[in-house]
Homo-oligomer: A and B are copies of this chain.
Amino acid sequence: MDTTTVETKKFEILDTKLDSIWAEIFQKSKLIKEIQSGSIDIKMYAMYMFETYHYTLHNSRNQALTGVKCFDKPPHYLRYCFEHALEETGHELMALHDVKSLGLKDNSFSIPNPLPETEVLIGYLYHVSSTGNAVRRLGYSYWAENAYKYIMPLIEKIKGLYNLKDNQLTFFMAHSDIDDEHFKEVKEMIEKYCVTEQDWKDVEEVMETTLRLTANMLDGVYNEYQKLVSNKSNKYNFLFALDNN
């Protein structure tokens, strides 16, 4: 078996794992089911976009940090880290723009703190980016840059549901555009810098863990929404403004 075939096999292992985790998420996530059934409240969607704002704010930073803390890989890998960080910088503002475009006035709210589930994801990504195997953060990019085939139908559903224009979905549109190119790069990096079995395992572990933590974040949004509508929390009360649109 030549090298290419060996690595093709390894990517197939990642892809099979990924497929099964996504399947599990689609089966279990109540938030996703709300989208699929067309019954998702615009306030729940808005809450999800605020969490997207939060983790995205840190993604370019922890991506760059991976390069800052890496001393055992060639400059080529650092360049990838800094370039990828560069391309992700400021994308949180797209998420913020999109949620505001739903009908939130600038002075009617301040951005709520992230949910604990979101902070768990953020904290884990900083930990992964600053310690341990320097290539393992690629596991996060592997699914994140390759997620649109899974989530595009959900976005289309939301688009139709709230009658959104493209310029109200800038976060997702921007990412779907650059995705294919990024994903190719991520695969090249994995192929180049995953040398040992342990490297591949570390990438797989971070892939699985960050995807599951992201799914937990969806659950967190769903649960927080229940608190909002049952008056158990007033943190997102400003979102009731969206009901009048």
Interface residues of A (CB under 8 A from B): 60-62, 64-65, 67-68, 74-76, 78-79, 82-83, 85-86, 89-90, 93, 116, 119-120, 122-128, 205, 208-209, 213
| Nearest neighbor of A79 in chain B, beta-carbon distance | B89
- Cα–Cα distance between A125 and B68 once the two chains are bound (Å): 13
Q: Is A90's CB under 8 angstroms from B64's CB?
A: no
Known: A64-B67, A116-B209, A123-B128. A82 touches B78 (CB 8 A): no
Closest 10 CB pairs of A and B: A75-B90, A123-B127, A82-B86, A123-B124, A116-B209, A61-B68, A64-B64, A123-B123, A82-B85, A78-B89
| Known interface pairs A64-B68, A116-B208, A119-B128; 16 further A-B residue pairs with C-beta atoms within 8 A, sorted by A's residue number | A61-B67, A64-B67, A64-B82, A78-B90, A79-B89, A79-B90, A82-B83, A82-B89, A83-B86, A119-B127, A120-B213, A122-B127, A123-B123, A123-B127, A123-B128, A127-B127
Interface SS of chain A: helix
Q: Is B68's CB under 8 angstroms from A82's CB?
A: no
Q: Is A93's CB under 8 angstroms from B120's CB?
A: no
CB-defined contacts of A74 to chain B, threshold 8 Å = 90
Q: Is B79's CB under 8 angstroms from A82's CB?
A: no
CB-defined contacts of A60 to chain B, threshold 8 Å = 67, 78, 82
- Cα–Cα distance between A67 and B61 once the two chains are bound (Å): 7
A84 nearest CB across to chain B (Å): 9
CB-defined contacts of A208 to chain B, threshold 8 Å = 116
CB-defined contacts of A93 to chain B, threshold 8 Å = 75
CB-defined contacts of A83 to chain B, threshold 8 Å = 82, 86
The one of B75, B124, B128 that contacts A89, using a Cβ cutoff of 8 Å: B75
